[in-house]
């Protein structure tokens, strides 16, 4: 099973931090971030397009995955069985420029030697994603889906909400040759510090690690103790202690421990105060969005926005403080 997460960070460092926490807690293998804010400490784990508008974070230790292509608004990495594309198309370009972007993507998809998985912010309105009607950009995307034999998995659940307006902008598109009943998409109802919602994709297929560059396996203390105890038991039963026999036992025990997919590690700075503040931020955000749907700005609207901004500022402060404190504790130890 492979887990993907699609987010739009709105260039916000707070959003980047919250996405890191969600990815670590839920064990996502890959994160595609549009409009990312990738801080310097983690840049080596990200693969970005040439303009810095979209990036893919690979799972820790996945050295066998290579870069497939990079261009403005497009980045793709080659997995064992798939090519994963990250896409961002600005809402501020003309329809003609949008069409040129889609044509460029179409050429890259057609060149892929493997099945494609496309995650990105397409900034269009299309019936293929569950909208009631399609705009000009949506028509262009629908032609792309037909030409490349790909399918949009979105079911109309909004992925963007701002000023009382909701729409489906963040799309997940799969190769038509894939078993779509093995794919599960979900819009997550968790605060990520952005006006977009995070979207998850789960492929219920086993991810085979590439053999060209095998990563070093890491074991927990419990797994190491299990290997040692089992080896000691077999040595006592057989009465042998030669190196060849010991090596054979250890290899056998390691082979019996399942290889889990590479996952994000939980962020070191998360605590209950930050979790509570994120819940409070989400509550204030929903209140502000609900009041924004009404016509005109009232005192209640202004107060709700002030409360939301204060909660956001407080959450940002807590995260920065905990990062600083955790860093000092690590240095002291």
Highest-pLDDT range among 85-89, 188-192, 239-243: 85-89
Quote the DSSP letter at residue 324.
H
- Write phi, then psi, for 14 (nearest 5 degrees): -60, -45
Query: So what's the pLDDT on residue 39?
Result: 58
β-bridge mates for residue 172, sequence order: 119
Query: So what's the pLDDT on residue 44?
Result: 59
Longest dimension (CA), the chain: 85
- What pLDDT, in 10s, does the model give residues 73-122? 999 999 888 999 999 999 999 999 999 999 999 999 999 989 999 999 99
Contact in structure between 23 and 5 (CB atoms under 8 Å): yes
Decide if pLDDT at 262 tops 50.
Answer: no
Q: What is the dihedral of CA 146, 151, 155, 157, to 10 degrees?
A: -90
Contact in structure between 201 and 183 (CB atoms under 8 Å): yes
Decide if pLDDT at 153 tops 90.
Answer: yes
Highest-pLDDT range among 25-34, 139-148, 212-221: 139-148
Q: In this structure, are strands 115-121 and 82-88 parallel, antiparallel, or unpaired?
A: parallel
- CA dist 140 and 96 (Å) reads 10
Q: How confident is the model at residue 294 (pLDDT cuts 50, 70, 90)?
A: low
Tokens of residue 251, six digits: 């290899």
* Residue 50, CA distances (Å) to 9, 31, 44 in order: 17, 18, 15
Query: So what's the pLDDT on residue 292?
Result: 65
- What pLDDT, in 10s, does the model give residues 267-293? 777 888 888 888 888 888 878 777 665
- What pLDDT, in 10s, does the model give residues 198-235? 999 998 864 443 333 344 455 666 667 777 777 777 77
Of 292, 312, 18, whose CA–CA distance to 161 is shortest? 292
Q: Tell me the average pLDDT across 129-153.
A: 93
Query: So what's the pLDDT on residue 40?
Result: 39
- CA dist 153 and 199 (Å) reads 11
What fold is seen in the domain 2-203?
Deoxyribonuclease I; Chain A (3.60.10)
Of 186, 196, 274, 286, whose CA–CA distance to 12 is shortest? 196
Q: How confident is the model at residue 261 (pLDDT cuts 50, 70, 90)?
A: very low
β-bridge mates for residue 115, sequence order: 82
- CA dist 207 and 2 (Å) reads 6
Comparing 27-31, 127-131, 134-138, 327-331, the range with the smallest average pLDDT is 327-331
Q: How confident is the model at residue 159 (pLDDT cuts 50, 70, 90)?
A: very high
Decide if pLDDT at 57 tops 90.
Answer: no
Q: Tell me the average pLDDT across 1-7.
A: 90
- What pLDDT, in 10s, does the model give residues 173-189? 999 888 777 899 999 98
Decide if pLDDT at 19 tops 80.
Answer: yes
What number of other Cβ atoms are within 10 A of residue 43's Cβ?
11
Query: So what's the pLDDT on residue 331?
Result: 55
| Per-residue 3-state assignment (H helix, E strand, C coil) for the chain | CEEEEEEECCCCHHHHHHHHHHHHHHCCCEEEEECCCCCHHHHHHEEECCCCCEEEECCCCCCCCEEEEEECCEEEEECCCEEEEEEECCCCCCHHHHHHHHHHHHHHHHHCCCEEEEEEECCCCCHHHCCCCCCHHHHHHHHHHHHHCEEECCCCCCCEEECCEEECCEEEEEECCCCHHHEEEEECCCCCCCCECCEEEEECCCCCCCCCCCCCCCCCHHHHHHHHHHHHHHHHHHCCCCHHHHHHHHHHHHHHCCCCCCCCCCCCCCCHHHHHHHHHHHHHHHHHHHHHCCCCCCHHHHHHHHHHHHHHHHHHHHHHHHHHHHHHHHHHC
């Amino acid at each position: 099973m492979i887990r993907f997460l699609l987010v739009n960070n709105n260039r916000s460092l707070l959003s980047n931090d919250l996405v890191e926490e969600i990815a670590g807690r839920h064990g996502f293998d890959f994160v595609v971030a549009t409009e990312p804010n990738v801080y310097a400490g983690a840049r080596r784990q990200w693969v970005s397009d040439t303009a810095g508008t979209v990036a893919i974070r690979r799972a820790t230790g996945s050295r066998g995955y290579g870069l497939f292509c990079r261009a403005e608004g497009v980045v793709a990495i080659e997995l064992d069985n798939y090519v994963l594309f990250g896409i961002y198309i600005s809402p501020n370009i003309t329809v003609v420029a949008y069409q040129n972007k889609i044509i460029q993507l179409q050429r890259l998809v057609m060149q892929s030697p493997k099945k494609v998985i496309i995650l990105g912010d397409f900034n269009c309105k299309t019936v293929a994603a569950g909208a009631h009607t399609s705009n000009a950009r949506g028509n262009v995307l629908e032609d792309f889906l037909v030409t490349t034999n790909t399918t949009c998995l979105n079911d109309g659940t909004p992925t963007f909400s701002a000023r009382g307006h909701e729409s489906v902008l963040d799309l997940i598109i799969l190769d038509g040759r894939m078993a779509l009943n093995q794919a599960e998409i979900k819009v997550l109802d968790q605060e990520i510090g952005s006006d977009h919602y995070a979207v998850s994709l789960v492929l219920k297929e086993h991810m085979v690690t590439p053999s060209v560059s095998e990563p070093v396996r890491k074991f927990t203390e419990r797994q190491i103790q299990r290997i040692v105890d089992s080896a000691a038991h077999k040595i006592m039963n057989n009465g042998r202690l030669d190196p060849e026999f010991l090596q054979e036992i250890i290899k056998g025990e390691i082979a019996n421990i399942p290889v889990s997919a590479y996952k994000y590690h939980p962020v070191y700075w998360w605590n209950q105060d930050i979790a509570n503040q994120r819940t409070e931020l989400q509550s204030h955000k929903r209140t502000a969005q609900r009041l924004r749907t009404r016509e005109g700005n009232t005192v209640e609207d202004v107060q709700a926005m002030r409360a939301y901004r204060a909660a956001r500022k407080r959450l940002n402060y807590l995260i920065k403080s905990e990062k600083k404190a955790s860093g000092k504790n690590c240095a002291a130890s």
